[in-house]
Chains A and B, each alone.
Chain A
Amino acid sequence: MTDLDVDALIDDTETRIIITCGSGGVGKTTTAAALGLRAAERGRKVVVLTIDPARRLAQSLGLTELDNTPRSVAEVNAVNGGRLDAMMLDMKRTFDEVVLAHATPEKAEQILANPFYQALSSSFAGTQEYMAMEKLGQLHKQAERTGDWDLIVVDTPPSRSALDFLDAPERLASLLEGRFLRLLLAPARGPLRLMSAGVNMAMSVLNKVLGAQVLTDVQTFVAAFDTLFGGFRQRAEQTVALLRESHTAFLVVASPQNDALREASYFTERLREEGMPLAGVVLNRVTTTHAPELSAERSLAAAERLDEADKSPLAAAVLRLHADKMHQVVGDHKRADRFRRGHRSIPTVEVPALADDVHDLTGLRQIGELLTA
């Protein structure tokens, strides 16, 4: 069981990309923002890409609008020569930009106006993950070209499963290049005789069920999108290659609950399979106390004695609170410890739970301190 040295990670100039991932609700975004701020105040030039942050956290970074562009965060202590930019991902706009960059103006216009493109770019289950990776690729290129940043910190989408974001690019690419779309394209390209009887029947069924107009919309979309097809898989592969490089570091974030820890296990396992560099696991929001010597049982018993004697209800209430707290402390530690013992080779760091949500830079600095304590 080893400790994760977060300061060593962010101070290492070889670390160029940090990705925080984990299941929803474990504090990924806050961790990403806190890391970015700490790295900036220790002298790195940082950009933080957040996805769907809580309102107060967004405000703490000065992110008031979703405009898909990094904005400088004021009030960062720049005494060490660092700086911090932050941005919120706008997935539709990012997708539009990809289309605009890779298609001729007329084609781009056709694609952007197509109802099926609009559905895909705003609500396909994997689009957000895909676009987060796309944006990371763009920021990385910009960083190399302009030297604006030497560290990119990326938060991952609040997926149902932490694995979604690794799978989504491939899923989207394979759908866009899949046999069915090829098939839909075929009539637009010509020789129908190439189709088998089964396929012909399939097409006629689709016509019947969807109505000819819907099918035409899909075909138009596919035809217009065709120019981008090769590009999509290539881009997905490039991004995945970028993630495998040694200057990328994955940080898996988990709260000490069974579901989140199970997700974290799957995720660390998957990263290893894919050959992606895992820096460690942040065990976040672990309940702590300065009075572990007063156990839940003794605390409750003392409260009951006071009740029976009809004495000091205030002291009894405070003891009950402590008993609740001790239950959580013991449970959290048991689960966190079990996780560490089950993953001896993975460096971990524990971050104690705070009473309040983070809503300003002071709060983020505090998390940064706790991450490196």
Chain B
Amino acid sequence: MVTGKGGTGKTTVAAAMALALAEQGKRILLVEVEGRQGLAQLFDVPPLPYVERRIAVGPGGGEVFALAVDAEAALLEYLDMYYHLGRAGKALDKVGAIDFVTTIAPGLRDVLLTGKVYEATRRKAHGRLAYDAVVLDAPPTGRIAPFLNVNHEVADLAKVGPIRNQADAIMGMLRSDVTRIHLVTLLEEMPVQETLDAVEHLEALDLRIGSIVVNMVRNSPLDDDALALAVKEKLPTTEISKGLRSAGVAVSKELVATLLAEAHDHAVRVGLERENRDRIDALGKQVTELALLPEGIDQGALFDLAEELGA
């Protein structure tokens, strides 16, 4: 499970993670549930239908399949699979029941989405598991705890019956050793706060945190001493002017002042990032850093990220 606040790159990290897991001979399923077609955009393919299809071969030679789960289709599939309700399913659709169940009853929508993940995880093909791993581009941090806990809620609502049994089975899988939740964050106030909140909520629900992925990390060209001076606006002006001049830069008082001000702003930001990093480290979880890719994300960049994650 890969979650993160919007804008932190959780879909990219989920895809990179699937690629990293795709070693020779392995089959990985990469699933999205938010209806955004983020995976299709990322891999630059037409919108994904509700069908598992091969989307990439990982750097290790294994295959990555992608699936965009649509709650309505999942419900019809579910009805058909468990109740053989091909025609009645259509009747339900006609009166707007499917729309109702998948839109207004958010719990049931999430039950269907987690149910599909559960099914894919356990599916057998040719005497072995159909997939060696399933990577879910999960809902954002603000919604992840209720999303994963929905089956527990359902178990409370439906005291008996097939729904109750399935809800219990899914909850069992999510809480077991096979499931890990990875949280993607940037070193900014809001994403870090949401990460801390989500970790607290998830752990209270008995769900297991895998790692915190700190995304888009930029290394500073300034060392710690220089950063400390820059924050206090005490970088040695004369020394820097001299250096600039010897590098052939047309030095003016204004230029030096601007460069020093830029170094100051940068140092302030690095300071904030470090405070945020300390808050992440205080969680005591495994932390993985991914470098900012200034040229944007394409498949090559995904491979780079997969390698960083694999390392």
Contact = CB atoms under 8 A, between A and B. Distances in A.
A302 interface: yes
Contacts of A319: 244, 247, 249, 259
A314 interface: yes
Nearest to A124: B106
A344 interface: no
Contacts of A160: 6, 34, 36
B158 A125 contact: no
A306 B244 CA distance: 8
A294 B99 CA distance: 58
Contacts of B310: none
B176 interface: no
A356 B246 contact: no
Contacts of B242: 312, 315
Contacts of B240: 312, 314-315, 318
Interface string B84-97: 01001101101111
Nearest to B296: A258
B103 to A, nearest CB: 6
A56 interface: yes
A188 interface: no
Contacts of A309: 246
Interface in B176-197: 188-190, 193
Report, as a range, how many residues of chain A touch the other chain. 35 or more
Nearest to A159: B6
Best-buried of B96, B188, B236 by chain A (most CB within 10 Å): B96
B259 A312 contact: no
A198 B91 contact: yes
A127 to B, nearest CB: 9
B208 to A, nearest CB: 23
Contacts of A320: 221
A56 B189 contact: yes
Main secondary structure of the interface of B (DSSP, over half): helix
Nearest to A354: B265
B157 A305 contact: no
Given A198-B91, A198-B94, A306-B247, A318 B263 contact: yes
Report, as a range, how many residues of chain B touch the other chain. 35 or more
A294 to B, nearest CB: 7
Interface stretch (A6-14, A70-78, A103-111, A113-121): A113-121
Contacts of A210: 158, 161, 163
Contacts of B226: 314, 317
A253 to B, nearest CB: 14
A202 B193 contact: no
B189 A55 contact: yes
A24 B243 CA distance: 42
B294 interface: yes
Contacts of A294: 249, 255
Given A25-B6, A198-B91, A321-B263, A123 B221 contact: no
A66 interface: no
Nearest to B107: A119
B270 to A, nearest CB: 10
Interface in B257-273: 257-266, 268-269, 272
Contacts of A217: 157
A213 interface: yes
Contacts of B244: 302, 315, 318-319
A314 B106 contact: no
Nearest 3 CB-CB pairs, A to B?
A315-B243, A312-B243, A355-B265
Given A314-B235, A318-B222, 12 more contacts: A54-B193, A55-B193, A123-B143, A125-B106, A180-B97, A201-B88, A209-B163, A217-B157, A298-B249, A318-B262, A319-B244, A321-B266
19 contacts: A24-B7, A54-B190, A202-B92, A205-B85, A210-B163, A211-B163, A289-B262, A291-B262, A299-B249, A302-B247, A306-B247, A312-B239, A312-B240, A314-B235, A316-B221, A319-B244, A321-B222, A355-B265, A357-B189
Interface of A: 24-25, 54-56, 115-116, 119-120, 123-125, 158, 160, 171, 175, 178-181, 183, 198-199, 201-202, 205-206, 208-211, 213-214, 217-218, 289-291, 293-294, 298-299, 302-303, 305-306, 309, 311-312, 314-322, 324-325, 327, 355-357
